[in-house]
A and B are shown apart, each in its own frame.
Chain A
Amino acid sequence: MNAGTRFAIGAVLIVGSVGYLMASGVKQTGQYFLTPSELSQKIAVDPSFYNVGMKVGAHVVPGSVTRDVATQTLRFQITDGSARYTVLYHGLPPDTFNDSVEVVVEGRLHKEDGVLYATNVLAKCGSRYEAVPKA
């Protein structure tokens, strides 16, 4: 067996392990990224979507934010215009969070109360590095 063939075997091993790591990585860590209406459609078709880790991107409903700083609990509603969900988040929201931003909420939808229990909240707007255009 010459060096070229041996190298080819080594190369296939490397490429194969990169491929394997990527495939298993996607399988184990991939999360659905849905809008509220996509989520409500999915739930309607397939109830097993409850309690699955996912990300939901939507606008915060203005005026829906209630904070309890002492227990670090944040409750707010998100919507994309049609469907609407209540989010409960325990922890520190990002600086840029307020009731007029777009957020990405990472968490699980509980079947019992229909509330999205968030493990992470990302605010999208402020980190665009641009001021919000004044209306």
Chain B
Amino acid sequence: MTILGGVCLWLAFLVGIWGALAGFVGGLQGRPDLQHSARHAVFAMCGALLVAVFSLEWALFQHDFNVEYVAAYTSRNLPIFYTWSALYAGQKGSLLFWATVLSLFGSLALLLTARRHRELLPYVAGVVCTVATFFISVMLFGQANPFHRLAYTPLDGNGLNPQLQNPGMVFHPPMLYLGYISITIPFAFAMAALISKRLDVDWLVAIRKWTLLSWLFLSIGICLGMWWAYVELGWGGYWAWDPVENASLLPWLTMTAFLHSVMIQEKRGMLKKWNLALIIGSWLLSIFGTFITRSGVISSVHSFTQSSVGYFFLFFLIAAAVASFAVYASRLPLLTAEARLESMVSREASFLFNNLLFVGIAFSVLWGTLFPILSELVQGTKVTVGPPFFNQVNIPLGLALLGLTGIGPLIAWRRASLPNLRRQFAVPVTAGVFTVLVLLVGGMRDLYAVMAIGLGGFVTATVVQEFGRGAGARHRQYGEAYPLALGRLLARNRRRYGGYIVHVGIVILFIAFAGMAFKTETEATLRPGEAATLRSPYGWTYRFTHLGVSQYDALNRQVTAAALEIERNGKRLGVLTTEKRQHVDGLGRPTFQPSTEVGIRSDLREDLYVVLAGLVNGTEQAVFRFTINPLVWWVWYGGMIVALGGLIVMWPGGGSPAVKRTQAGYAVRLVEDVKA
């Protein structure tokens, strides 16, 4: 089977080269036969790569340890659930995964838009083939062929790193990769529009859903990554500003900026250059993210490996940046705006500031991530910046952005009048001020936390007001009951109201982040029967009593578990266990370093987070770290709401002409309503 896989890789490589040539030449010379061929090349490449993935999975499930990749990432006692995920656990497999998914997305894009964007498609096929061929060539020529065979056959494999044996880790990398990969489709359409000079709104329509899809995958991937870091790494938080985390945040930030600024282009014909630059930039950042993850160029606790693959990526990144911005520059004269900014107090202006902030945050994160390399190049000494830098820079910028989240949707297009402002902002501003007062009276003194929650109150009020007014208008016009009116409002204006739901999710995330300002922790060495106490930010006193240690063997690991009884203000809450695991291979020999299974007890207000650090000289006397993390659950809820809102925005349908006409009529009624 691995021979088949290897052959398929070569096949995909050759077909990819042909597809790239045929696409670009066919497009430029207007030759339908070549255009046709390029399109089929994408499909053929996709087929070949799917067969390659299948044969790698086959080797994984057959425990064919003669294949280096299989031996490196799986073992006989690895649970089946994790065996298939070994496909993307290592560098070589994830390169294959990347190329395959890209060809799959490319095929889908070509199939779904076959009629509407005929002139763009040959270039789209060409770009997809070029990028996929690059990934295949890294496997073939960068000593990263997943089908490479060893000179001998080990009895058993190394097994999967225990930190990856976690449900979150099964879905986190593919989600992130899907996000990274799917940005290539909007990028391909943008390049196609630039090359073919068809720079009307047409290409924007073609890529809107793809951009959203990519944004949605990235959002989910980032949230899953936070969850995994929180439950698996055991350092007590979910975001460490690690280079790999930053790399996933960068394209997310620029794409979020794009999803906002694209509205200005659709509505007003402005920001054409800016939007194209954002798409190209997002794509380059996604390649950069893959590069960071895969090359280990920045010393990071996450970096998978140091290898020659890094040079391939660096070369590709530079070549792609030069090529795409050269095309972009040559088309700049065609990208003139159809309108000008009329007033600072307008939705356009607030969106422009929002974009500047997003890009500013992205730039500072990129700068901080690259700072060790830059400082070494310039000064000869490596200087690093860590979480304090990122927090110091990004908390104020993030808060400003949160404020704009509330302001943008309420302010009128073109030029807002004073009565408009008063009507829109009276309630939300009151709500925000009220929230701040409640917090201050309640004794909260952390400036940033108060601001975050106060702005959260303001933004939430704007969303509630928007939903309330929309549903109220439907209620009056159609006599619908309020719940029905609310449902239809959402269903008929998915883009707008789905967007508001995303905003609510973001508010919840900000409030949850603010909660971490009140995190408390303590460490203690306890004999069975001894207890440690910790005071939570809500003023409760928790008491952790060490009940004892048990040791036992499980499927592929030796477990040392400690049980603790928890009391809050003297009232018993239950028992929490926390484990140290030593994974073993089929012969019972230890593999990998011991890993931590954190004991977590969550409620909506705070998490108790207990780590077993070790036993004293093999006795039951154990060392623990106790942490109280406020509001962590809201991070996961916020993430889910963001994803839900994104799904609503993306959900197909709702855009038929009939519906649009109804909406137009409804909008007229609404305007009359306002005037009355």
Contacts and interface: CB of A to CB of B under 8 A. Distances in A.
Give the dominant DSSP class at A's interface: mixed
Contacts of B344: 3, 6-7, 10
Contacts of B388: 25, 28-29
Contacts of B200: none
Interface string A24-60: 1110111111100010000000000000000101000
Contacts of B613: 72, 92
B357 A131 contact: no
B589 to A, nearest CB: 11
Give the dominant DSSP class at B's interface: mixed
8 contacts: A6-B344, A22-B393, A29-B392, A30-B384, A38-B381, A69-B525, A95-B234, A129-B163
B537 interface: no
Contacts of B158: 131
B346 to A, nearest CB: 8
A64 B22 CA distance: 62
B592 A131 contact: yes
Interface of A: 3-4, 6-7, 10-11, 14-15, 17-18, 21-22, 24-26, 28-34, 38, 55, 57, 69-72, 91-92, 94-98, 104, 122-124, 126-131
A34 B299 contact: no
B391 to A, nearest CB: 9
A95 B596 contact: yes
Interface residues of B, number: 69
Nearest to A125: B593
A72 B623 contact: yes
Contact of B164 (A10, A18, A92, A129): A129
Given A21-B364, A22-B364, A95 B595 contact: yes
Interface in B319-342: 340-342
Contacts of B433: none
Contacts of B363: 18
A69 B356 contact: no
Given A69-B615, A70-B621, A3 B393 contact: no
A55 to B, nearest CB: 6
Given A25-B390, A129-B90, 13 more contacts: A3-B340, A3-B343, A18-B364, A22-B393, A32-B384, A55-B384, A95-B596, A124-B299, A126-B593, A127-B301, A128-B303, A128-B305, A130-B305
B296 to A, nearest CB: 8
B389 A95 contact: no
B605 interface: no
A7 to B, nearest CB: 6
A7 B341 contact: yes
Contact of B611 (A32, A72, A92, A128): A92
Given A32-B383, A69-B616, A26 B371 contact: yes
Q: Which of A29, A98, A122 has the most CB of B within 10 A?
A: A29
Q: Which of A38, A70, A72, A122 has the most CB of B within 10 A?
A: A72
A117 to B, nearest CB: 17
Given A6-B344, A15-B360, A129-B304, A30 B623 contact: no
Contact of B349 (A7, A30, A34, A57): A7
Contacts of A6: 344
A15 to B, nearest CB: 7
A28 to B, nearest CB: 7
B392 A21 contact: yes
B581 to A, nearest CB: 9
B383 A31 contact: yes
Nearest to B614: A69
Nearest to B352: A7
B625 interface: yes
Contacts of A31: 383-386
Contacts of A126: 161, 592-593
Interface string B560-603: 00000000000000000000100000000001111110000000
B208 interface: no
Interface of B: 72-73, 89-90, 158-159, 161, 163-164, 234-235, 296, 299, 301-305, 340-344, 346, 349, 352-353, 356-357, 360-361, 363-364, 367-368, 371-372, 375, 381-386, 388-390, 392-393, 396-397, 523, 525, 580, 591-596, 611, 613-617, 621, 623, 625
A69 B623 contact: yes
Contacts of A94: 235
Contacts of B386: 29, 31
B416 to A, nearest CB: 12
Nearest to B349: A7
Nearest 8 Cβ contacts at the A-B interface: A131-B158, A33-B382, A18-B360, A29-B388, A92-B613, A69-B616, A25-B389, A96-B593
A74 to B, nearest CB: 11
Nearest to A94: B235
A72 B615 CA distance: 11
A25 B163 contact: no
A7 B621 CA distance: 64
A30 B161 contact: no
A98 to B, nearest CB: 7
Contacts of A122: 301
Contacts of B360: 14-15, 18
Contact of A130 (B72, B340, B357): B72
A29 B364 CA distance: 14
A130 B383 contact: no
A98 B342 contact: no
A122 B242 CA distance: 12
Contacts of A25: 364, 368, 385, 388-390, 392-393
B525 A70 contact: yes
Given A15-B360, A72-B623, A32 B90 contact: no
Nearest to A30: B383
Contacts of A30: 371, 375, 383-385, 389
B396 A21 contact: yes
Nearest to B160: A129
Nearest to B367: A22
A51 B386 CA distance: 19
B382 A34 contact: yes
